[in-house]
Structure 1
Amino acid sequence: MAVATLASRVAGFLRILVLAAALGLGGRLLDTYNLANTVPNAVYELIVGGTMASIVVPLLTRAALREPDGGVLYAQRLLSLIVYVLGAVTVLAVVAAPLLIDLYAPGFTPDQRDLAIVFSRFFLPQILFYGVSATTGAILNIRGRFATGAWAPLVNSVIVIAVGLVYLAIGGATGTGLTTGELLLLAVGTTAGVFAQALLVVWALRRSGFPIRLHLDPRGIAIRRIGKLGVWVLVAVVASQTLTAAATRAASWGGAGGITAFQNASAVYLVPFAVIAVSVMTAMLPRLSEYAARGEHQRVTVGLSRAVRTALVVMAPIAAAFVLLGPTVAVVLFDHGNSDPATVRVLGLVLTSFGLTLVPFTSYMILQRGLYALQDTRTSALITALVAAVGVAGCAVAGAVLPKRDIVIGIPVAYAVAYLAGLIVTALVLRRRLGHIDGWRLVRTHLRVLAATAAGAGCAGLVLWVTGPASWTGALLTLLGAVAAGGAGYLLAGRLMRLAELRHLLNTALPGLRTW
């Protein structure tokens, strides 16, 4: 599963790079395509996505343990309900496509709006495919089969990468005036990737011996119970999607390339979080839940503190790298093909701003797992709503105050303020619930990490100052040199300050460094 997840994320990142080169980073076409392809994901998350892991999987597991048939009938009825609900939602979304586009991108030109509506009507059936893929994947998981679900997103990315390469090879347009063939290649090819992902998971479920059958009457799965359990999850999802919509709307006012600069920079900044922080959170949640169930709040506190400090020693230098090297990273990754150099520069500045968000966002997400372990979804949802409110207000201020081209740079700053507010409130709530949150140790570790990060940033900044602006090859060499110098400076400073969390990580990952 770990190998499959890493491969899928690498392929997903390559997909972003290929589409940027083929459709033209900074052009109106890529903004239009990305926005239209965002809508089905947002609608799916709003209807089903947020409840899948927190509600559907536990219910399927319970049915598999308690029902005489191993939960087969329950799973069939649940799959039927998902298909019927998402099928109806898909039809409604296709009809309402103009309203959805106007909601997310009021700053589009008339040509962009028209093309986005056409794209979205090809893309919106993905809502149903995502639902089928997630539900069948959950059924596979409770039957002890994990591999196919982990590999399936890779198929999606490979297909879309192929579409982007073909589009680049035929010299497709980078404006909104597409030929019928170019339009169909992008629209059908993109949705074909999601369909193939769903088809692979359904095939694997069928091959496992599970009888796939839709029931005309899906009742008998305690729909009311699912609704009650999902109320607070829905509140959190609505809040998150509201913030995403506000950020996208603000980015659309930034002119051509604004939405793409924001989304691509966001994708880059989320890579270390997904690889490192999510791994930490996945590993710690079962233990925290066990401690909380036993009333061992001291162990919950220790576990949360350790997770925050462990993630901090890795994420802080990465955040500093984004702040210092954001423009250089953008040139190396996106200055290819039909990309506009001016938009690449803006993307780099957006990535710099996102560097301010990485640490508070990571710590906030980790502490939220403490509330999950305590089974307090209500408080978690209310804090998520607070974060969304602060973020939406920040995006509105950015749109009203900043120059048009700088609006997209201000959005990550709004995110940073929002997640910092959420982090503080979550910490205060947990302190009241648990008695304490290991505050002094957290403060000491943050100060030491800050000092070590400053030392590493100084070394990286020296390399950046010596090399100066350069071509793509020069930017690559500068990036490699700055990362190497910054990493060495951070590790040396961490050793001098006896940064225990960094020592533990290195000793675990590299047993040969026991003398650290």
Structure 2
Amino acid sequence: MTDQPSSARTGRTMVIATLVSRITGFVRTLALVAALGLGTRLLDAYTAANVLPNSIYELVMGGAAASVLVPLLVRVTADDGVDEDLFTQRLLSLVFYGLSAVVIVTISAAPLIVDLTVPGFGSAQRALVVDFTRIFLPQILFYGLSATLAAILNVRGRFATPMWAPVANNVVVTATAAMFLLVGGTGHLETLPQGQMLLLSIGTSAGVGAQMVVLAVVTRRAGLPLRLRADPRGIAVRRIMAMAGWTLVSVTAAQVVLIVVNRLVSQAGPGAVGVFSNAYTLFQLPYAVIAVTVITGMLPRMSRAASRRDLSQVTADLSHGLRLAGVVLVPVAAALVLLGPHLAVLLFAHGNASPAAAHLTGVVLAAYGPALVPFAGYQIMLRAYYALGDTRTPALISVVVSAALLVLSLVAARLVPGRDMVVALAACTALAYALGFVIVAQLLRRRIGRIDGHRLLSSYGRMSVATVLAAGLGLAVGVGLGGSFAVVCAATAVGASLYVLIARLLRVSEFTILTAGLRVPRI
């Protein structure tokens, strides 16, 4: 019981750090849209190129970082016979050498990678994407080192610092977009000078590098000397590869879907890539603030419980995480569905952005809305398998979900051609992750005996009732006022207030737990 205040403070700090990180990330998105122009071929080229380092990183390491590093480091910390610092240095060295090689190979293959991912671009746009990509690809190394350093800090009890680090990235990229405007940059691809292209590309990669530097400095202050080791022996490379092997299968399946979807979007018309990407960024914002915070704090606890074979505690942590995430994400999902077009117009219809592209972004966001809760629940439950040291089962589930999304996307592209295709593709995401949520829940229940299903259904049922009642009246008030700004502000204020009131009346205990954890203690 003595660690509850500390846990509450840690959770509060994590939420604040994640919120600041995502807000600054959103400001970065707005700055780029204002500078490059939503609906322009320049923003499409920049977005297509900037996605590639993330995709390649996820393919070669991202899945392993999520599923292997924290459980592995937790076990090393508990083993008195292992030199923890030496093990960690060798692990970091392996990541550095391996991803450096990946960067060299992918830079050489940049034109082939671009042709594979965005075949719908013309020759001038393709050439610009290749130029951007070659300067963006070192981000692969920065992402890998950042993920490893974050895992090290999490195992050492430093949960909040990795969540603050992306602020450095966001500030650098936002400043880059501002400088682009100051030097006279516009959204016209045809008139982009070489100097402005270098400003955008170098500034973007420097942002990811700044994030890595922040984590490296904090890791050193946490007591770990950062040294490259030439010999990776002693870190159980074969075991790591075995654990990551199945994760690689799932990540590969996901990247295949991403490539296919990007190819489809690139052929949906000018500006479609930027529209689809920015809608997805908005959709991910509440998931990142709430669900990722829950996952980050939950995974080390579940890993320790699993190492003790305490399945009841694994169940308790899982149920707690799902309910805490749901109490916020259920009403937010409703807000995305009801307010998506108004929100996007309010945020994006400025500067070089096209109002029609901003509205389409909102429609895509509304189509993404129903995916928010099943997507978050699916991701949280997968972490229970990772805590148990099982990467095979979640990998196979992920392959099924990816296959479903791939089939749905291909069918949607054939049935809904043109710019409306991006709306249909977003709706396919909701269907695929709803399927994934059901599958992982059933299989996990068989694995650990129970997932506290009755309590989860009861809690989510009351959250849904509170959301429906609050959303209906909130939207009615907002629409009555007219104008996107008035609609968003009024509907959000009225809806949120009613949700809080109704949730308390319905005794949604998770809401009380959440507010108690966020309350600043009196001194």
Q: Normalising by the residue count of structure 2, what TM-score does the alignment of the two structures yield?
A: 0.88
Say whether residues 1:27 and 2:40 are aligned partners. Answer: yes
Say whether residues 1:494 and 2:503 are aligned partners. Answer: yes
1:168-187 alignment to 2 at 5 Å? 168-177=181-190, 178-187=192-201
Instruction: Say which of 298, 308, 313 aligns to 2:322.
Output: 308
Q: What does residue 366 of structure 1 align with? A: 380
1:30-179 alignment to 2 at 5 Å? 30-60=43-73, 70-139=83-152, 149-177=162-190, 178-179=192-193
Say whether residues 1:424 and 2:424 are aligned partners. Answer: no
Q: What does residue 396 of structure 1 align with? A: 410
Q: 1:120 to 1:400 in 2, by over 3 A?
A: same
Q: Following TM superposition, by how much is the alpha carbon of 1:422 offset from its aligned partner in structure 2, in angstroms?
A: 0.7
Q: Following TM superposition, by how much is the alpha carbon of 1:410 offset from its aligned partner in structure 2, in angstroms?
A: 1.2
Q: What does residue 4 of structure 2 align with? A: none
Instruction: Say which of 450, 454, 459 aligns to 2:464.
Output: 450
State how many pairs are aligned: 507
C-alpha contact 1:391 1:414 (8 A) present in aligned 2: yes
Could you say what secondary structure the match of 1:106 adopts?
coil
How far apart are the structure 2 equivalents of 1:293 and 1:132? Answer: 26
Residue identity opposite 1:483 in structure 2: T
How far apart are the structure 1 equivalents of 2:182 and 2:194? Answer: 17
Could you say what secondary structure the match of 1:173 adopts?
coil
How far apart are the structure 1 equivalents of 2:120 and 2:374? Answer: 30
Residue identity opposite 1:476 in structure 2: F
How far apart are the structure 2 equivalents of 1:182 and 1:47? Answer: 31
Stretches of structure 1 that go unaligned for 5 or more consecutive residues are none
Residue identity opposite 2:108 in structure 1: V
Q: Following TM superposition, by how much is the alpha carbon of 1:498 offset from its aligned partner in structure 2, in angstroms?
A: 4.2
Say whether residues 1:342 and 2:356 are aligned partners. Answer: yes
C-alpha contact 2:479 2:487 (8 A) present in aligned 1: no
Could you say what secondary structure the match of 1:405 adopts?
coil
Instruction: Say which of 283, 299, 303 aligns to 1:269.
Output: 283
Q: Normalising by the residue count of structure 1, what TM-score does the alignment of the two structures yield?
A: 0.89
Q: What does residue 253 of structure 1 align with? A: 267
The superposition leaves residues 474-497 of structure 1 with CA deviations (integer Å, 9 ceiling, x where unpaired) of x22321111112223333443454
In terms of mean alpha carbon deviation, does 427-436 or 498-507 score higher? Answer: 498-507
Q: What does residue 383 of structure 1 align with? A: 397
Say whether residues 1:325 and 2:334 are aligned partners. Answer: no
Q: What does residue 461 of structure 1 align with? A: 475
Q: Following TM superposition, by how much is the alpha carbon of 1:363 offset from its aligned partner in structure 2, in angstroms?
A: 1.9
Q: Following TM superposition, by how much is the alpha carbon of 1:505 offset from its aligned partner in structure 2, in angstroms?
A: 4.0
Q: Following TM superposition, by how much is the alpha carbon of 1:217 offset from its aligned partner in structure 2, in angstroms?
A: 4.4
C-alpha contact 1:65 1:71 (8 A) present in aligned 2: no
Residue identity opposite 1:458 in structure 2: G
Q: Following TM superposition, by how much is the alpha carbon of 1:124 offset from its aligned partner in structure 2, in angstroms?
A: 0.8
Residue identity opposite 2:106 in structure 1: A
Say whether residues 1:355 and 2:369 are aligned partners. Answer: yes
Q: 1:257 to 1:83 in 2, by over 3 A?
A: same
How far apart are the structure 2 equivalents of 1:37 and 1:169? Answer: 22
C-alpha contact 1:64 1:72 (8 A) present in aligned 2: no
Q: What does residue 481 of structure 1 align with? A: 490
In terms of mean alpha carbon deviation, does 199-208 or 170-179 score higher? Answer: 199-208
C-alpha contact 2:70 2:300 (8 A) present in aligned 1: no
Q: 1:173 to 1:145 in 2, by over 3 A?
A: same
Q: Following TM superposition, by how much is the alpha carbon of 1:158 offset from its aligned partner in structure 2, in angstroms?
A: 1.1
The superposition leaves residues 127-166 of structure 1 with CA deviations (integer Å, 9 ceiling, x where unpaired) of 1222333344555666676776444322222111111001
Say whether residues 1:281 and 2:295 are aligned partners. Answer: yes
Residue identity opposite 1:485 in structure 2: V
Paired-residue identity, %: 47
Q: Following TM superposition, by how much is the alpha carbon of 1:186 offset from its aligned partner in structure 2, in angstroms?
A: 0.8
